[in-house]
């Protein structure tokens, strides 16, 4: 366990840390705690045979075998807790993943601080061929115009939010004027099986670009902590198109 | 099963229906389909004893016994599908209930229509004693001021949304300027056990007033379809403070 | 809903029914209730686009599209309740499927009746090449010997069970002498997504032969009730090797 | 993480360990790994307010507040992995707890060893007043008779099992003659919220005596690792009648 002091540290405190990634303009993913590793999956799988760990070569081979044949339960014994800061529209997509535990900052109990809004650094456009698709465009002029419109809109919404609060309106009601770009924070505890499912859907070009960035950050931490499982996953079970072994 | 035509009907079409409730200014809850009833719970419970239905008196008594003693699994065999239209901040609270199935309208694939924003008809204020509390106040002047601020803010945000779309910006990116008051729609399939848990948390004065209204609408439909289960629930298992037997 | 009388009927009562299948020597699968059908998945999926049903051709095409692209949530709105009678070793495999609801007959509360044991009608042997494999052999002499050994063993165990009961020993303790071949009964409520996952794992030659028979019976009922979903499933998502489109 | 060598150690190796308990005549519960502690729940809860740890007094008070008011999600961020050896009839009750991960030894892949059967050291009888109840009796003569009948029955069943194997019958088929007293082993990963639910149902006099013993062993480890949570649980949320603060 980390100490009391470390727990309260801001993620910015040591940004060289592999397990704290800045994401988007003001967001982050931080690995707070974890349990198990590649060997935990091996042990859980070998209990089926009444056996334990063998040589590293055979243990790694078992992980590849499990992944190739869709035996996913042993990976449920590897568990991660992440602290995430992300815009609301990203959090909404994230919370659709039901196998896992969430605790989120409450806008009913806390006041939103100024400038806690996501400002994009790229622009995507819809294309006529496929209405589900959003394609990035390189157009500095357009980007500046979009950012300018958004910043002004966020400032305006925030001004109304503050005005409502100053009238005595409850936070839970005042916040309904805030935009979907507002940042939120949450703890997410998830096992490796459910995490891989998250990567399948979100580390993929069909997902919205913003949640892709979070998925990639999480994939890197996963790879670092469970290198064999990650390698086997990208080889046999990954259905997305952004990650490489 | 309802017919093809009925399925496509708007809920407004027959608003005398017990199973279509208008909620808030533009929202609704509609019972789309259901499976089982009080007897389904009785049958599932009696399988434990290798028995089936008995007299209505004994069947009802069994439901009361199950509820009193916390035997909740038999109620999982009663299942409901609701079609819900609610503001995003309500949907966000709703989707935290993980035991159930959701399919939601996508703001990435569809354009938000004008005036699809929730305008409150009452105002709540925070109180110094308890920062989790929001207390309603009767103050017509304040309400008018709040509504005025909100309507203008929503119109402003919507104008920016449309401007971004007209610049060619993808829907998934343009929508991040939209407020949390924006209405969304979703299908929710949930069993009676999970529904009762929803009522425990949301048909309660600690929940936000807006989601309370949805919970009450759902409670009424539940009571109509499963009168014994509802009566036993409010008697023995309900922990909220808004529903009555 | 079926009537009160039908609910208490024995499955043997109308065995021509497509939705009551005899399985193994004394087991059965009976579809007790269901909610939704192919159209329910279509509606749930179309809510994403703010749309409803279209033509049958387009509705069917949507189901194939969803299945091909791994969009599985719309199928969660189709729900089945089955009444199953199966040997304990089959039930143990079945209950590992966590997304679903089970209510089972209790051996603590009810006395096991005579001859409620599974007697196999085929014999499988292990092979040296693959210790997970069990291969059927055609050997009438061996089969008779095996059945003879089993029947005697079951009778012997049952005699001890009855003797323990006659000594006043509690059912919960006496039953520990009973074999894994003992039949049990349970209600299983499961949505179509979880049911398809069950078929992937159990309607497959790697599953034990006995549970394969139950999976095949369930697949037939599923096909009858949701023909488009079944066809799309076997075409795009089925990973087993026993079912055909 | 424990080392490779420790992982393969038998639980017998250090039985003074608080986190390895012998249960029944041949069973055990061993805490293999865990993540989080009382502070993990505090941190997850405080994220709601955008805050972290405070003083131990206030942190402990928060845990009591959460438990008293039924706010259970913060406890999902504390996770345990147990290695359990228990008779099949106990495992069957255990696996009904769906929120958690199981990997079990397979009787299809491994041969059951001799004398791996549970022999009770007490006898319970059913009482006429309540057919769900089993009451322990002090009767040495009866106990000896019961044990004698059981031991002989288990030996007889095991003999048939071995005979079937010697005939070449596959393990998956031969094992169906084995009794419910046969020991099995499994890994169980479970969060503290689900573990407390397990204790509510199994550390209770209505549960079968044998699973009570496992629940008590687990409660002791839980108390040792999360003393505040345990104290708050027994004070506010525990519905059973066997545990004390």
Reported ipTM: the value is 0.91
**CB-based contact C103 B45, cutoff 8 Å:** yes
Output the DSSP codes for D134-163.
EEEE--HHHHHHHHHHHHHHHHHHHHHHHH
Output the DSSP codes for B14-51.
GTT-TTEEEETTTEEEEEEEEE--HHHHHHHHHGGGT-
Q: Give the pLDDT of residue D141.
A: 96
Residue C237 gets the label, from left (phi > 0), alpha (psi -120 to 50) or beta, of alpha
- Measured in angstroms, the CA of B34 and the nearest CA of chain C are apart by 6
Of B77, B35, B41, nearest in space to B59 by CA:
B41
Of B84, A72, A141, D181, nearest in space to C160 by CA:
D181
CB-CB neighbors (< 8 A) of B175 in chain A: 89, 180
**CB-based contact B156 A153, cutoff 8 Å:** yes
Confirm whether A30 is a catalytic residue: no
**CB-based contact B177 A172, cutoff 8 Å:** no
Instruction: Report pLDDT digits (tens) over D90-115.
Output: 999 999 999 999 999 999 989 999 88
Test the A interface: residue of B172, B188, B201 with most A CBs within 10 Å: B172
Other chains touching D, judged by 3 or more CB pairs under 8 Å = A, C
* Dihedral sign, Cα of residue C64, residue C66, residue C72, residue C73: negative
Instruction: Yes or no: say if B118 and B181 are a contact pair by the CB < 8 Å rule.
Output: yes
DSSP three-state, residue B177: helix
- Measured in angstroms, the CA of A77 and the nearest CA of chain D are apart by 6
* Residue/partner pairs of C131-139 with CB below 8 Å, 24 or more apart: C131/D109, C132/C206, C132/D108, C132/D109, C134/C208, C134/C209, C134/D108, C134/D170, C134/D171, C134/D172, C134/D173, C135/D170, C136/C209
Q: For each successive 10 residues of chain B (245 residues), what is the average pLDDT? A: 42 60 97 96 91 92 96 97 98 98 93 94 89 88 98 98 97 97 98 98 96 98 98 97 90
Whole-angstrom CA distances from A122 to A90, A155, A202 are: 16, 20, 19
* Residue/partner pairs of B39-42 with CB below 8 Å, 24 or more apart: B39/C1, B39/C4, B39/C7, B40/B77, B40/B78, B40/C33, B40/C81, B41/B66, B41/B74, B41/B75, B41/B77, B41/B78, B41/B192, B41/B226, B41/B229, B42/B74
What are the domain boundaries of chain C?
Answer: 4-106+185-237, 124-177
Catalytic entry in A124, A131, A202, A220: A202
- Measured in angstroms, the CA of D116 and the nearest CA of chain A are apart by 13
C80 strand-pairing partners: C34, C190
- Measured in angstroms, the CA of A109 and the nearest CA of chain B are apart by 6
Other chains touching A, judged by 3 or more CB pairs under 8 Å = B, D
Q: Give the pLDDT of residue A9.
A: 47
CB-CB neighbors (< 8 A) of B32 in chain C: 43
Instruction: Yes or no: say if C33 and B36 are a contact pair by the CB < 8 Å rule.
Output: yes
**CB-based contact A170 B124, cutoff 8 Å:** yes
**CB-based contact C169 D180, cutoff 8 Å:** no
**CB-based contact B123 A169, cutoff 8 Å:** yes
Test the D interface: residue of A189, A193, A196 with most D CBs within 10 Å: A189
The residue of chain C with its CA nearest to that of B59 is: C4
pLDDT over 70, % of chain C = 93
How far is it, in rounded angstroms, from Cα A18 to Cα A11?
11
DSSP three-state, residue A183: strand
**CB-based contact B180 A178, cutoff 8 Å:** yes
Is residue C73 marked as binding? yes
pLDDT over 90, % of chain C = 84
How far is it, in rounded angstroms, from Cα A97 to Cα A92?
10
**CB-based contact C53 B186, cutoff 8 Å:** no
The residue of chain A with its CA nearest to that of D100 is: A76
Residue B117 gets the label, from left (phi > 0), alpha (psi -120 to 50) or beta, of beta
Q: Give the pLDDT of residue B49.
A: 82
Please check whether the domain covering C4-106+185-237 is classified as CATH 3.30.1360.170. Answer: yes
CB-CB neighbors (< 8 A) of A175 in chain B: 89, 180
Instruction: State the DSSP code for B168.
Output: T
Of B182, B94, B149, B96, nearest in space to A176 by CA:
B182
Q: How confident is the model at residue D228 (pLDDT cuts 50, 70, 90)?
A: very high
- Measured in angstroms, the CA of C61 and the nearest CA of chain D are apart by 35
Of D131, D105, D117, nearest in space to D180 by CA:
D117
pLDDT over 70, % of chain B = 93
Q: Give the pLDDT of residue C151.
A: 98
Look-up of token digits 């051996």? C107
Q: Which residues of chain A have pLDDT under 70?
A: 1-16
The yes-or-no verdict on residue D4 having pLDDT over 90 is no
Instruction: Report pLDDT digits (tens) over D124-168.
Output: 999 888 777 899 999 999 999 999 999 999 999 999 999 999 999
Output the DSSP codes for D54-94.
--HHHHHHHHHHHHHTT--GGGGG-EEEEEEEEEHHHHHHH
Is residue C8 marked as binding? no
Test the B interface: residue of C13, C50, C98, C195 with most B CBs within 10 Å: C50
pLDDT over 70, % of chain D = 93
Q: Kindly state the tokens that stand for A129.
A: 């061929």
The yes-or-no verdict on residue D41 having pLDDT over 90 is yes
Q: Which residues of D are annotated as a binding site for dUMP?
A: 93-96, 104-108, 175, 202
Catalytic entry in B46, B171, B202, B220: B202
Which sequence positions of D are flagged as catalytic?
Answer: 202
The residue of chain D with its CA nearest to that of C210 is: D173
CB-CB neighbors (< 8 A) of A36 in chain D: 1, 33, 81
Q: Give the pLDDT of residue A203.
A: 98
Instruction: Report pLDDT digits (tens) over C20-42.
Output: 999 999 999 999 999 999 999 99
CB-CB neighbors (< 8 A) of B66 in chain C: none
Q: Kindly state the tokens that stand for B204.
A: 């309660």
Q: Kindly state the tokens that stand for A65.
A: 């075998």
Is residue C106 marked as binding? yes
pLDDT, mean of residues C123-143: 89
* Choice among B75-89, C91-105, C114-128, D216-230 with the minimum mean pLDDT: C114-128
């Amino acid at each position: 366990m980390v100490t009391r002091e470390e727990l309260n540290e801001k993620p910015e405190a040591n940004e060289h840390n592999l397990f704290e990634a800045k994401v988007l303009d003001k967001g982050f993913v931080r690995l707070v705690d974890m349990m198990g590793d590649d060997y935990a999956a091996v042990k859980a799988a070998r209990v089926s045979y009444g056996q334990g760990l063998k040589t590293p070569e055979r243990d790694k081979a078992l992980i590849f075998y499990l992944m190739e044949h869709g035996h996913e339960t042993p990976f449920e014994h590897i568990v991660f807790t992440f602290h995430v800061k992300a815009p609301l529209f990203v959090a909404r997509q994230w919370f659709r993943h039901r196998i896992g535990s969430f605790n989120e900052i409450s806008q009913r109990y806390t006041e939103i601080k100024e400038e806690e809004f996501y400002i994009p650094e790229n622009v995507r456009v819809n294309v006529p061929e496929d209405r589900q698709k959003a394609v990035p465009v390189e157009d500095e002029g357009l980007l500046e115009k979009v950012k300018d419109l958004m910043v002004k809109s966020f400032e305006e919404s925030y001004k109304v939010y503050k005005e409502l609060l100053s009238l005595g309106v409850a936070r839970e009601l005042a916040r309904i004027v805030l935009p979907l770009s507002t940042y939120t924070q949450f703890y997410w505890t998830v096992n490796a099986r459910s995490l891989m499912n998250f990567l399948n859907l979100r580390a993929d070009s069909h997902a919205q670009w913003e949640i892709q960035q979070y998925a990639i950050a999480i994939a890197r931490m996963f790879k670092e902590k469970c290198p064999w499982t990650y390698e086997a996953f990208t080889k046999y079970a990954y259905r997305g198109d952004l990650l490489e072994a």
